[in-house]
Amino acid sequence: MDSPRKTAKGFAAAAMVVVIWSGFNIVSRFGGKSELTPFDITAIRFAVSGVLLLPLFIFRRRSITWAQLFIFGSVGGIAYSSFVYLGFSLAPAAHAGILVNGGIPFATALVSLAFMGYRPGSRAILSLLIAGLGIVIIGVQSFSHDESGRQWLGDIFFLCAATSFAVFGLLLRKWRVHPLEATIGVAFVSMLLYLPVYVLFLPKALSLVPMPQILLQCVYQGVLSASVAQLLYTYANHTIGPIKASMMLALVPGVSALAAVPLLGESLGLMTVAGVVLVTCGALLGTTNQAKT
C-alpha cells in the first residue's frame, strides 16, 4: 500500500493541477475570443512544449514503446488539445470548467467500468450522480440560452476533450509509465504529428495578434499547461489513482467560473452557479471515496 506521505504528495500534485488548470481555462478562453484560431493555440502548445522537452526526449533512456508514445500523443495530446481549444472558441470558460473537468470523472468511471473492471462504491456513484446533474444543467442552459447558436457545439467539444483525457489517464495507470516519461513523450509526439499538418493545411491568424498575447499563450499553454501540469497530473495518477486524480480536477469549475467574471467579463447566471456547485460537491465527495478494482 502507498504510504500516507506519498498519498499526501499525490493529492498536493493534483491540487497544483487544479490551480494551473483554472488559469488554463481563463487564458484559453481569452485566446479563443481573440483572432487566434483554435489551431494556432494548439500549435503554440505543441511547439513550445515539444522544443522545451526535446533534449530530455533525446538523451533520457526510455522504457515506453513507440506504439505507446503514438497513442499517448494522439489521445492525451492532439485529440484532447484540439477538442478543448475548439470548445474555447465557442463556449464560456465556466462551461469548460464544468464539462471538461467535471466530465473527466464520468468518462474515467465509465471507461474503467467497461474495460478495466472498476466497481464504484456507493459514495462514488453518489458523487458521479451529483456532478452529473451539474453537467446536465449546463447542457440545458446551452440549448435554451444560446445566443450565438453554436455554444452547444463548444460544449460537445468540451465533453470530447474530457473523454480523451480520461482515456489518457487510465492508460497511464494501466501501463505504469513514469510521469516524466509520459509528459516528454506526449510533447514530442504531438509536435511531430501535429505541426506539419498545421503548417500545410490548417487556418492561421498569428499575424493578426499582438506579440504579448502570443507570448502569454506560449508560456501558459506550452510551459505550465502542457509541461508542468501534465507532469503533476501523471504523478497524481500513479500515487492516488486515476479515479481520485480525475475527481480532484472537478474542483476547477468553481475557481474558473469565479475568475472569469472579473478577468473575462463573463456573467454567472443561476444555472451556471448551480452547475458549478453540484460538480464541485460531487468532486469533494469523490475524493474521499475508496474505489474498488
Residue with cell 453518489: 126
Tens digits of residue pLDDT in 22-63 = 999 999 999 999 999 999 999 999 999 999 999 989 888 888
262 burial (CB, 10 Å; 0-12 / 13-18 / 19+) is exposed
- 293 pLDDT band, cuts 50/70/90, is very low
Classified as helix, coil or strand, 166 is helix
pLDDT at 292 over 60: no
> Euclidean distance between the first and final Cα of the chain, in Å?
14
Which of residues 245 and 293 earns the better pLDDT score?
245
pLDDT at 18 over 80: yes
* Rounded mean pLDDT, 100-110: 81
277 burial (CB, 10 Å; 0-12 / 13-18 / 19+) is middle
Cα 274 to Cα 138: distance, rounded to the nearest angstrom:
9
* Rounded mean pLDDT, 217-223: 94
Rounded to two decimals, what is the model's pTM?
0.85
* Rounded mean pLDDT, 182-202: 94
Q: What b-and-e string marks burial along 188-225, b requiring 16 or more CB atoms within 10 Å of the CB?
A: bbbbeebbeebeeeeeeeeeeeeeeebeebbebbbebb
Q: Within 10 A of 291 (CB to CB), how many other CB atoms are there?
A: 18
- 291 pLDDT band, cuts 50/70/90, is very low
Least confident of 108-122, 147-161, 279-293: 279-293
Residue 290: the pLDDT is 46
Cell numbers that stand for 55 in this block: 533534449
Distances 115 to 108, 109, 112, 167, 178 between C-alpha atoms, Å: 11, 10, 5, 11, 22
AA identity, residue 259 = A
Residue 156: the pLDDT is 93
Which of residues 273 and 48 earns the better pLDDT score?
48
- 174 pLDDT band, cuts 50/70/90, is confident
* Rounded mean pLDDT, 184-204: 95
Residue with cell 514530442: 188
| 46, 195 contact by CB (below 8 A) | yes
Nearest CA to 136 out of 104, 101, 169, 99 is that of 99
Residue 116: the pLDDT is 74
- 1 pLDDT band, cuts 50/70/90, is very low
| 111, 167 contact by CB (below 8 A) | yes
Cα 252 to Cα 110: distance, rounded to the nearest angstrom:
21
Cα 204 to Cα 148: distance, rounded to the nearest angstrom:
23
Residue 145: the pLDDT is 67
* Rounded mean pLDDT, 191-196: 96
* Rounded mean pLDDT, 222-228: 89
Residue 75: the pLDDT is 95
Which of residues 171 and 118 earns the better pLDDT score?
171
- Mean pLDDT highest for which of 168-182, 189-203, 268-282? 189-203
